[in-house]
Chains A and B, each alone.
Chain A
Amino acid sequence: MANNTVFSIEDFNLWYGSNQALYKIDLQVPRNQITAVIGPSGCGKSTLLKTLNRMNDLVSGVNIAGTIKYNDQDIFNKKNMVEELRTQVGMVFQKPNPFPKSIYDNVAYGPRIHGIKKKKVLDEIVEKSLKDAAIWDEVKDRLNQNAFGLSGGQQQRLCIARCLAIEPDVILMDEPTSALDPISTLKVEELIKELKNKYTIVIVTHNMQQAARISNKTAFMLNGELVEFSDTDTLFSTPRDKRTEDYITGRFG
């Protein structure tokens, strides 16, 4: 596998019980780029995203076939610990989900679990993570206040900071701005674009314009299949597949 590929998905299939949700997916997720996954509801895009850090392990009745390699390691190999994978592959969800704790403790939570106890080290991690998540200036004077007091957009950036605090390699984002107002959405989008310098980002979004604005690569999925995976500029200007053209121009139905 080329060094600039983070995830290599090969002939991957997934079933929920007897229902097949993903069909023969082949996809190479490039390092330090933003890969967007678009497609109508139920096309399998969130399923694919959750598979990348094995969140689907938690769902009963899931069966898989095919391989997904993360940095050359088969993520389903019994020898590889799922906790290890999730340390490397963080996730940000649709609705901001801060813990009912202070802003500081939200960000320090992961590092503490990983055994970091020194206050000075934790302070540094918290400040760096909040800065990287572009929220430091807004919260630096109230780090001990409850995270629930923040606005939705701030809570989402706090969740991104919490994700950054454990220094992941990849960040998965499942509709990270769908619960946010337009200004908060733009702030989070700007943040995502900056984060790609240090992280690999895979984002599932219903907002096609968002995918067009922020991503380098776009995958279009339909009925559990990957229809097209191209440079974002190409996919939104001259898509190869008629189904992609029909979807992005709203000629579906």
Chain B
Amino acid sequence: MVGREQFHAELEKMKTMVIDLAEGAKEQLSRSVEALYNGDLEATNNILEDDKVLDQKEMDINEAVILLIAREQPVASDLRRLIIALKISTDLERMADHAKNIAKSIQHLGENHGINIHEKLSDMKEIAIRMIDLSIKSYKHEDMTIARKLAELDDQLDKLYGEVTKELLEETATNPQSIQHIMQMAYCARYIERFGDHATNIGENVLYLIKGKSIDLNA
């Protein structure tokens, strides 16, 4: 009997589309945090423009998945492969939106805000980038052991976020005239923290693909 080689080739192609979207979301995070530290307003416009490209990529994945379900009537792990591609691409698109939000915060801060960008935001970004890399690696290789590491990193990220918000809150007391700027920085910390949650979701989707049942990585 001949296998469904063409269908399975299309599943592989869809996987590369998802990975491509992930690379895009990761790139947006790096660029937006870099622009935050450099106060680079020009870069923010590029980030906002490129977000539209990523939105389109997510829609392309949705369309490809719906077509494959309609045409191939997949079952079992193939069906889960398609369903998690949909869900993962939603998480990736949301990640990209958070990068876009960081860019908007930079615009709100303006050029001469006169406050130091908290150094821990950079540490948070590093963890978030690692989490995206891990989640996509686990998706690419359908590897549960990688997915399970995400929970640990997410805890680290949440901890850093807690420290940053606490310190920023203290700063609002000593530096009340900068409250608006400090608030924007707190938002940025929150946006970066959300990257971790979405990366964890991706890991959970990979576990669902392999196990056929839902598993909460944070439980």
Residues on A lying within 8 angstroms of B by beta carbon are: 40, 208-209, 212, 236-239, 245, 248-253
**B4: chain A residues within 8 A (beta carbon):** 249-251
Interface contact A250-B3, CB-CB below 8 Å: yes
**A209: chain B residues within 8 A (beta carbon):** 73
**A251: chain B residues within 8 A (beta carbon):** 3-4, 8
13 intermolecular pairs with C-beta atoms under 8 Å apart:
A236-B75, A237-B76, A237-B79, A238-B76, A248-B75, A248-B76, A249-B74, A249-B76, A249-B78, A250-B8, A251-B3, A252-B3, A253-B1
Contact flags (1/0) for B50-93 with A, using CB distance below 8 Å? 00000000000000000000000111111100000000000000
Residues on B lying within 8 angstroms of A by beta carbon are: 1-4, 7-8, 73-79, 212-213
* Total CB contacts across the A-B interface at under 8 A: 36
Nearest chain A CB to B209's CB is how many angstroms away?
Answer: 11
**B76: chain A residues within 8 A (beta carbon):** 236-239, 245, 248-249
Nearest chain A CB to B6's CB is how many angstroms away?
Answer: 10
Q: A237-B212, A238-B212, A250-B7 are in contact. Are A40 and B75 (CB under 8 A)?
A: no
A40–B74 Cα gap in the complex (Å)?
18
B4 and chain A: residue at smallest CB distance: A250
A245–B74 Cα gap in the complex (Å)?
11
Interface contact B75-A252, CB-CB below 8 Å: no
**A252: chain B residues within 8 A (beta carbon):** 1, 3
Known: A250-B7, A251-B8. 8 other contacts (CB 8 A): A212-B75, A236-B76, A237-B75, A238-B212, A239-B76, A248-B76, A249-B4, A252-B3
A40 and chain B: residue at smallest CB distance: B1
**B77: chain A residues within 8 A (beta carbon):** 245, 249
A162–B7 Cα gap in the complex (Å)?
42
Nearest chain B CB to A13's CB is how many angstroms away?
Answer: 25
A248–B78 Cα gap in the complex (Å)?
10
**A248: chain B residues within 8 A (beta carbon):** 75-76
**B3: chain A residues within 8 A (beta carbon):** 250-253
A238 and chain B: residue at smallest CB distance: B212
**B8: chain A residues within 8 A (beta carbon):** 250-251
A40–B3 Cα gap in the complex (Å)?
12
**A245: chain B residues within 8 A (beta carbon):** 76-77
A237–B74 Cα gap in the complex (Å)?
10
A193–B7 Cα gap in the complex (Å)?
31
